[in-house]
Structure 1
Amino acid sequence: MNKRSLIILTLFMVFAFGCKSAKTISNGEANYKLSTKQLIKENTKQNPNFNTLQSRLKITLIQNGKTQAHTVNFRAKKDEFLWINATFSVIRALVTPERVSFYNKLDNTYFDGDYKYLSNLLGTELDFQKVQNLLLGEAIFNLKNGDYKTSVNEGSYVLQPKNQRELFEIFFLLDPTHFKVKSQQISQPKEFRHLQIDYVSHQEVEKQILPENIKVIAVEANEEIILNLELKNVSLNEDLRFPFKIPSGFKEIKL
């Protein structure tokens, strides 16, 4: 696995989540009559609200015709810590608003840095909140702070900036029944880059609608990475610890 694949895999292992006592959301009655302002308001009402969570997360990575599957423990303290631990602590990661850090005992390497590499990778400035939103099923950009137009296509609301940015294009697809994000897409045509996050299904937990199955497609030139995330066995709002220490003697990954 190359450095880019490892960073992407670790990132999504860290930021994906699920919830306790969940039931899959089925399609209800669609409402296609909302204005852009009303649509954004309804979407904002669905923002997740929790203090901590813990879950088992299955990640399936498909790259160059090869498939890898991993199941990890995931813990989070909303807006503060995101932590993963693979079996036997082979891979452990801790993400905070300031840093992205992880180590890999399979090759005795570690990474400890800021969000610069991830920002360069996607062609837009990233921070903890943006990436957290992306994996929690929220729009990567605050919809209330932008000027968007709305259309309906194949059963979904489509939100896009009235004036697309020069270097990349953004699209958000929202479900007309519960107004959660169904897909968000960022494209950089000149760089032949495309990132697409599809929320294949949602689940309802304690009156909150949250992602259940997520499909991530990252394309750069002729290279494509697909991640399928399955979220299960989650407990909510428990007292959790987030231990992390890079072992001595490990080699730093330079990006």
Structure 2
Amino acid sequence: MKLYKLYFVILFVAFVTSCKSAKTITASGEINDAISAKQLIKENAKQDAKFNTLQAKVKIDYTQDLQEQGYSVNLRMEKDKTIWINATLGLARAMITPDQVRFYDRINNQYFEGDYALLSNLLGVELNFKKVQSLLLGESLFNLKDGKYTASTNDKSYILQPKEQTALLELFLLLNPSHFKMDSQQLLQPLKRRFLQVDYLAYQDVDQEILPKDIKIMAVEDNDEVIIAMEYKSVLLNEEVRFPFKIPSGFKEIILEDAP
């Protein structure tokens, strides 16, 4: 897997929430085998994030080729408008908006500016700002109201899947019976030998918002695998935030080749 692909996988999954006063939610809900897909989608929609702004610190550990690395980032978000990330000591900074993805790296004196098309090819999933934001907040990557789904259960979760899976994309969404947020999102592209799994290992109540606390992401393409674990600390909601971003002079532009 290319280094820049790893950069963007990390950037797109590393910005959620935690709080000094947050309470971890115990998954104590009972499975109702009679619940319909329509009911599940309705309950899930009720839990969509309602905050305006968010600030947090996120500890990230990622593993590739059996080698593990870790670092911390500061996150600021204005819901539906901007995601801003600053790495420790300002070594890297990113700003994502509905129209543009921008990133620079002081270690290698380089930067990237572009839209979501190329990054969608790199990750194997069509991306836009809404999908990235939803992924980070424990919400469905896809608009569930746009499709037809069937409901089933396992021992711990409700399972939603499209009534008609395709050879291009198979989708499985596991919902938590306690609060109907995502337990897991699993996307399989058999023809391209790609697999993305996002597991929400724990949630927390932050100022009456149910938000992820611990997330694990596994991205596989052919024989390449990246695993990312996140621990979220020190979040503040609905306070004034700033998004400073200026590409330093003299940096070299990163040109990403289209994925085959």
* Matched residue, 2:56: 55
Shift of the alpha carbon at 1:97? 0.3
- Provide the rounded CA distance (Å) in 2 between the counterparts of 1:168 and 1:196: 13
* Matched residue, 1:27: 27
Shift of the alpha carbon at 1:18? 3.3
Question: What amino acid is the match of 1:28?
Answer: S
Question: What amino acid is the match of 2:25?
Answer: I
Q: Look up the SS of the partner of 2:185 in the other structure.
A: strand
More divergent stretch after superposition (234-243 vs 19-28)? 19-28
TM-score between the two structures when normalised by the length of structure 1: 0.96
* Matched residue, 1:187: 188
Percent identity for Structure 1 against Structure 2 = 53
Question: What amino acid is the match of 2:208?
Answer: K
* Matched residue, 1:41: 42
> Structure 2: any 5+ residue segments left out of the alignment?
none
- Provide the rounded CA distance (Å) in 2 between the counterparts of 1:160 and 1:250: 45
- For residues 1-255 of structure 1, the aligned pairs below 5 Å read 2-13=3-14, 15-19=15-19, 21-32=21-32, 33-255=34-256
Instruction: Confirm or deny: 8 A CA contact 2:17 2:232 kept in the other structure.
Output: yes
Cα RMSD of the aligned pairs, angstroms, is 1.3
Instruction: Confirm or deny: 8 A CA contact 1:217 1:226 kept in the other structure.
Output: yes
Cα deviation per residue 1:119-163 (whole Å; 9 max; x = unaligned)? 213434211001110111000001111100011123211100000
Question: What amino acid is the match of 1:75?
Answer: R
Instruction: Confirm or deny: 8 A CA contact 1:19 1:53 kept in the other structure.
Output: no
Shift of the alpha carbon at 1:19? 4.5
- The 1:19/1:141 distance shift into structure 2, 3 A limit, reads farther
Question: What amino acid is the match of 1:165?
Answer: T
Q: Look up the SS of the partner of 1:67 in the other structure.
A: strand
Q: Look up the SS of the partner of 1:141 in the other structure.
A: coil
Q: Look up the SS of the partner of 1:88 in the other structure.
A: helix
Shift of the alpha carbon at 1:209? 1.2
- Provide the rounded CA distance (Å) in 1 between the counterparts of 2:123 and 2:73: 25
Q: Look up the SS of the partner of 2:184 in the other structure.
A: strand
